[in-house]
Chain A
């Protein structure tokens, strides 16, 4: 199974909004609602930010939102803050009952 496709990097200024895409296939992203997004700061363990396409765990800012259309999921961060600078990974459950991650996107807050 191949990794989901994410842009290597995105950037934005404080206060702006950015969107990170995550493209899979009809065997993973397109097959289920089970798409998650993780934030990883350098040297830290990943943190769940979005699950089941668009749900936020308790404690995650409502500046983070998720959506999906067909085989592509998206993470949007509004009102960018310096603390949002991190690596972001999507993941999806697959028809093979496994999980696949995206390659990761480095977010730079200018």
Chain B
């Protein structure tokens, strides 16, 4: 069974760093893109970027370029999303998602979400 399991909820202060994770299982991890999607409280879905675990190649939304870093550890089939300096506006639910087949854009497998709360 294909699964994406995300790390648990985080509570951080502004200016702190954070790295959340998404571990894939039940499929060939290096052969599927993994995307990160943000959902701020009461708001819609926002595509942040993707990574190809095979070669760590990434593509970011212009809105998130330079604000976050997406990385991968193939040895543990885990993709990461990290911030160097959190802001209160980073408070959101973050989902990782895997697309169908070789697609980069239609996501049929989703993680359960990681709630990040940034507050002083």
Given contacts A97-B59, A99-B35, A46 and B110 within 8 Å (CB-CB): yes
From A34, A40, A89, A104, B105 is in contact (CB under 8 Å) with: A34
Given contacts A46-B95, A48-B108, A57-B100, A99 and B113 within 8 Å (CB-CB): no
Are B47 and A91 in contact, CB atoms less than 8 angstroms apart?
yes
Are A51 and B47 in contact, CB atoms less than 8 angstroms apart?
no
The distance from the CB of A40 to the nearest CB of chain B, in whole angstroms, is 8
Residues of A within 8 A of B104 (CB): 93, 97, 99
Determine the residue in chain A with the shortest Cβ distance to B43.
A104
Are B45 and A89 in contact, CB atoms less than 8 angstroms apart?
yes
Are A34 and B47 in contact, CB atoms less than 8 angstroms apart?
no
- Cα–Cα, bound, A51→B104 (Å): 12
Main secondary structure of the interface of A (DSSP, over half): strand
Given contacts A91-B105, A93-B104, A38 and B61 within 8 Å (CB-CB): no
Whether a CB of chain B sits under 8 angstroms from the CB of A74 is: no
- Cα–Cα, bound, A52→B99 (Å): 12
Determine the residue in chain B with the shortest Cβ distance to A98.
B61
- Cα–Cα, bound, A41→B106 (Å): 18
Residues of B within 8 A of A52 (CB): 106
Contact surface of B with A, Cβ cutoff 8 Å: 35, 37, 44-47, 49-50, 59-63, 95, 97, 100, 103-108, 110-113
Whether a CB of chain B sits under 8 angstroms from the CB of A86 is: no
Are A99 and B44 in contact, CB atoms less than 8 angstroms apart?
no
Whether a CB of chain B sits under 8 angstroms from the CB of A102 is: yes
Whether a CB of chain B sits under 8 angstroms from the CB of A100 is: yes
From B59, B61, B111, A1 is in contact (CB under 8 Å) with: B61
| A76-98, CB < 8 A from B | 87, 89, 91-93, 96-98
From A46, A97, A104, B107 is in contact (CB under 8 Å) with: A46
Determine the residue in chain A with the shortest Cβ distance to B49.
A98
Are A92 and B105 in contact, CB atoms less than 8 angstroms apart?
yes
Q: List 27 A-B contacts (CB under 8 A).
A: A1-B61, A1-B63, A3-B46, A34-B105, A36-B106, A45-B113, A46-B45, A46-B107, A51-B100, A51-B103, A51-B106, A57-B108, A91-B47, A91-B105, A92-B105, A97-B59, A97-B104, A98-B49, A98-B59, A98-B60, A98-B61, A99-B35, A99-B105, A100-B47, A101-B44, A101-B45, A104-B44
